[in-house]
Amino acid sequence: MPDTPESRAHRAALEAAFGPALREAAGARGFVETFEHDGDPAEPARLVAQVASPGEPSRRATLLFLHGKGGFAAEWRRDAVRALKLGYNVVVPQLRSHAPSGGARITYGLRERNDVALLVAEATRRFRIDPRRLGLDGASYGALVALHVAADDPRVCALWLRSPFADLPAMAGRYVARATGLPPGLVSLPARLYVAWVERSAGLPLAALDPLRAARRVLCPAVVVHGEADELVPVEFAPPVHAALGGPKELWIVPRAGHEHHADEPSGLHAAAYARRWTAFMGSCLPPAPRPRPS
């Protein structure tokens, strides 16, 4: 999303509403807390996350929501509220290099996978969540991070991937094409050369961060959701990710929908169908605990 006064005002409004929405959904016996934790010590960063629960978090499954590049935690309001009302704990971080979290750069999963592992460990220590009952929901770049986390951690029980991309150099070419207005085919080779230069100069082993390589190591149930009209991450990226996944899987190409956390996102354009599918999938993998009864 471009950085404009309108986009900044939109973000501010979403952020102002996020905490109150979580508190209402958590209920009288629940809680909402913002906390900080250390990220991957290989590139130290102090990171910020929010956790919410309807109460008795150790009894509940936990859903972790990972935003996209340039995104932010409050974009997950609708999904986090739904999860809380169903009886899940929710954890919503600001990924590194996304304020208010620190970190000089995003690393496309190289450091973020460890950031998330440390976040889960800290949430387990602070709030007594059960790390053996964990589901991930990631959008775009957040879906790449979720893929790597699920590949590394066999305790992940459910993986919901929104607008994932299958090829980092190809995505670099898409960004260049959008920025310059040139045809993707014309910028493909320069973009790939640029990615190779970034690998050498910045020490980012992007080849090792191949989304398909990670997907092959994911054995938990997974759903790949992609908007048919996604102009940021083309829909043709979805089938290779789906095909590479190593466990039970489903591919849902959503008609007429665009990129996640944009105005025409699948979860907004087809809200009722999306909520039904998401709820059924998470419930089949991670049955939520009942909410505490009012005293």
Interhelix angle for 77-86 vs 271-285, to 10°? Answer: 50
In angstroms, the CA 188 to CA 212 distance is: 20
**Residue 12 within a domain:** no
Do 178 and 144 fall into the same domain? no
**Residue 9 within a domain:** no
CB of 258 closer than 8 Å to CB of 231:
yes
In angstroms, the CA 254 to CA 258 distance is: 9
Strands 89-94 and 46-53: antiparallel
**CATH code at position 83:** 3.40.50.1820
Q: Which amino acid is at 94?
A: Q
Tell me the residue range of the domain where 178 lies: 171-209
Q: Per-residue pLDDT for the chain (295 aa), expressed as one digit of tens each?
A: 567 888 889 899 999 999 999 999 999 999 999 999 999 999 999 999 999 999 999 999 999 999 999 999 999 999 999 999 999 999 999 999 999 999 999 998 999 999 999 999 999 999 999 999 999 999 999 999 999 999 999 999 999 999 998 887 666 656 555 556 656 665 566 656 666 666 676 677 766 788 999 999 999 999 999 999 998 899 999 999 999 999 999 999 999 999 999 999 999 999 999 999 999 999 999 999 876 666 5
Max intra-chain CA distance, the chain: 66
The last residue of one of the domains, among 181, 209, 237, is 209
CB of 118 closer than 8 Å to CB of 38:
yes
Can the peptide bond before residue 100 be classed as cis, meaning omega within 30 degrees of 0?
A: yes
In angstroms, the CA 37 to CA 265 distance is: 31
Strands (E), 130-209: 134-139, 156-162
The count of structural domains within the chain is 2
pTM of the predicted structure, to 2 decimals: 0.90
